[in-house]
Structure 1
Amino acid sequence: MTKSRAVNAERRKGNNDMRPTVLTFVRHYLPGYKAGGPIRSIANLVEALGDEFDFRIVTSDRDSIDTKPYPGLPAPSTWIPRGKAHVLYLPPSKRDFLSIAQILRTTPHNALYLNSFFDPVFTTLPLLARRLRVAPEKRCILAPRGEFSAGALKLKAKKKAAFMALVRPIGLHNKVVWQASTESERTDILCALKLSEIDVHVAMDIPLTETAPSTKLETRSTGDPIRLCFLSRISPMKNLDFAISVLAQTKCKVIFDIYGSINDNSYWIRCKNLMGNLPNNITCRYKGHDPAP
């Protein structure tokens, strides 16, 4: 632990916590996992910077596509310690404008961190509360999390275009600092928003710092099938159907294992239909959402 981290850890033990507070809104967070990358990105950020910053995370009380909340949650207004952050889990009844505005007013913070552009609850409502001046106008960082890529914008394209046309004239995103994870995403943001003044910074996602256990790799014997793995959410944005279609054209033996939560049932049916039409040299198997043995 560095000297600064040690100092901050000691402050938290007492009553003189001087860390800047980052009020973070994200639709899904730990212990959830079905929403994929954004959960891991925020969790890694908290783990890496949680000694220097006080992360307060507002999120859903259930995982993506789940109908029941996480077990054992206390009252909706209770902040729960989770790792180096405190988390407020909101049930559907507490995801309205007044509730979000109250959280912003009653949670002292130095910065507001939003993790979607199109999310109507966990991004639009906090921004609207700031715009209407019913919540403090603190420094705001918005990470679109890949929502402006060409493939992502094609999904529900008319609805997204209408939303962007609606919020631009009311200045909902005025004075927002944008976070891109890569230079490519920075270009996507600039092309999609077409704002005269826009402040975009590239800050790569922080990877896990844990050392992965060593894995002994075995050489594939001649004639053995090629082993491939798909590890992602199953949704149109992830192009599983394209991967299956490409496999259908190969002549060699392939075992293709699919891991990931099913976020779009109609899309999954399309993928299963493609899997059913694969040639005999391709073995394609869905292995659930947990790759651990």
Structure 2
Amino acid sequence: MSGDRGLLSIDIDQMSDGTPVTYRVLATSRAFQPGYRGGGPVRSLEKILDSCPAHVEVMLVTRDRDLGTSDPYPGLSARWVRRRGALVHYLRVSDVRNWVRLARQLRARRIDLLYVNSLWSLFSQVPVLAAAVGLLPVRSILLAPRGELSPGALRLKAGKKRLFLLFWAPLLKRLRVRWQACSDLEARHIAARFPWARIIVHGQQTSLPDDARPPQDRPDGPLRLVFISRISPMKNLDLALAGLHKVTRPVNFDIFGPLEDQAYWARCQRLMAGMPANVTVRYRGSLPPEQVIRTFGEYDAFLLPTRGENFGHVILESLAASCPLICSDETPWNDLIEAGGGAVVRPLTADAVAAGVERFAALSPTDRRRARDRAAEAFGAWRGQQRFTNLFEEVRLLG
């Protein structure tokens, strides 16, 4: 099947390949390959699964379709497949028989660790509740909130989230859940909401090149800005567009990303329609992951006024493409962004976004090239310091 990245159908009774299993993980996520619209978490999970040692067996349960789409992946619904070292079940959520069959299969196996991605997803809530009432016997639980506890994220639908946590927080405390933070910044966000939380900080979880792509020479002309992220309130595209309304120099701004929220996208379109004559904005659809770094390399800067990033894979991909950033300060990478020739927007307002864009638009072609060189150098320095360890092996050793 096309785009399956090594997926091979397998019968549940043939799950073991003969390697002795000393540690078994059940992971859940609402999105995984061959989809890509889930962004960084999909790539994080891919990296974790692919780096597991042979004695760790991972069973991943995910949806049978990509985020925001109604069409299932061809030939994968309600089936187990082997993906390199992991076993993946593509759940047909609307099929009660699929749920029942899956529950029986999972209950028949010892599960050492339940690993859930998100606080708010049913793919996290259902297995945690099943574990709490004994329907799913697991020894321990690891929860990755994926940036959902940042102040910016909590301000979105704040009332519903507060109400949910009144019930959910005591349950998580009783279960002695461990939390995975992708950065020290996310660890502080978790601790601020749950002072009793046991937190593991596990950083780089994505495949990135060893070296940055060399900067491309380009002629003088309008500043070329790009946005590559999910089109959602969390990524704050509407603020980027509001800032561009206040810019006086020529700017071309291209937008790439899946449309998650139609009402939010309608707001963005209204802002796009009212742009001043010196600003050109185009929406150019979604990008598959393998095209992201190459696309960043075609632009002078990445405009990302995000409300919060727990890790920010796309920020590192931008630097790996020698593309500096104009970014909010709600990420773990403020120092790296500034070292990489970029600008950190403070405070997060349309005026401050406009000031950051004006600064880049005023640069000469030589100075824009220097900024791209600094982005490449910053990525190289960061990349050289990275030492990857597998998350599940780290948790296993903690006991």
Count of matched residue pairs: 275
Given candidates 32, 36, 42, the residue that maps to 1:33 is 36
Q: Which amino acid aligns with 2:183?
A: T
CA pair 46-137 structure 1, distance change in 2 beyond 3 A:
closer
Q: What is the CA deviation profile of residues 170-222 of structure 1, one whole-angstrom value per residue up to 9, with x for unaligned ones?
A: 4576211000111111111111234xx3201211132315557845511442x
Specify the alignment match of 2:154 in structure 1: 153
Whether 1:22 and 2:19 are equivalent positions in the alignment is no
Specify the alignment match of 1:8 in structure 2: none
Specify the alignment match of 2:241 in structure 1: 244
Specify the alignment match of 1:3 in structure 2: none
Specify the alignment match of 2:286 in structure 1: 289
**Residues in 2 aligned to 1:245 and 1:272: alpha-carbon distance in whole angstroms:** 11
Specify the alignment match of 1:263 in structure 2: 260
Q: Which amino acid aligns with 1:256?
A: F
Specify the alignment match of 1:49 in structure 2: 52
Q: What is the CA deviation profile of residues 16-40 of structure 1, one whole-angstrom value per residue up to 9, with x for unaligned ones?
A: 3335222100011001111212111
Contact 2:64 2:72 in 1 (8 A): yes
- TM norm structure 1: 0.85
Contact 2:113 2:138 in 1 (8 A): no
Contact 1:111 1:141 in 2 (8 A): yes
The Cα shift of 1:50 comes to 5.5
Unmatched segments (≥5 aa) in structure 1: 1-11
Specify the alignment match of 1:111 in structure 2: 113
4+ long deviations beyond 6 Å: none
**Residues in 1 aligned to 2:171 and 2:213: alpha-carbon distance in whole angstroms:** 53
Specify the alignment match of 2:130 in structure 1: 129
Q: Which amino acid aligns with 2:204?
A: D
The Cα shift of 1:165 comes to 0.6
Contact 1:100 1:125 in 2 (8 A): no
CA pair 104-215 structure 1, distance change in 2 beyond 3 A:
same
The Cα shift of 1:58 comes to 0.3
Q: Which amino acid aligns with 1:206?
A: Q
Unmatched segments (≥5 aa) in structure 2: 1-14, 296-399
Contact 2:21 2:55 in 1 (8 A): no
Q: What is the CA deviation profile of residues 241-276 of structure 1, one whole-angstrom value per residue up to 9, with x for unaligned ones?
A: 011111221111111110100000110010011011
Specify the alignment match of 1:188 in structure 2: 189
What SS does the corresponding residue of 2:167 show, helix, strand or coil? helix
CA pair 13-158 structure 1, distance change in 2 beyond 3 A:
closer
CA pair 246-89 structure 1, distance change in 2 beyond 3 A:
same
Q: Which amino acid aligns with 2:62?
A: T
**Residues in 2 aligned to 1:192 and 1:283: alpha-carbon distance in whole angstroms:** 41
Give the fraction of aligned pairs with identical amino acids, expressed as a percent: 36
**Residues in 1 aligned to 2:217 and 2:186: alpha-carbon distance in whole angstroms:** 36
Whether 1:140 and 2:137 are equivalent positions in the alignment is no
Whether 1:177 and 2:178 are equivalent positions in the alignment is yes
The Cα shift of 1:124 comes to 1.1
CA pair 191-13 structure 1, distance change in 2 beyond 3 A:
closer
**Residues in 2 aligned to 1:104 and 1:235: alpha-carbon distance in whole angstroms:** 34
Q: Which amino acid aligns with 2:248?
A: K
Q: What is the CA deviation profile of residues 143-169 of structure 1, one whole-angstrom value per residue up to 9, with x for unaligned ones?
A: 000000111111111111111012234
Q: Where do 1:197-236 residues align within 5 Å?
A: 197-211=196-210, 214-221=213-220, 224-236=221-233
**Residues in 1 aligned to 2:229 and 2:64: alpha-carbon distance in whole angstroms:** 22
What SS does the corresponding residue of 2:190 show, helix, strand or coil? helix
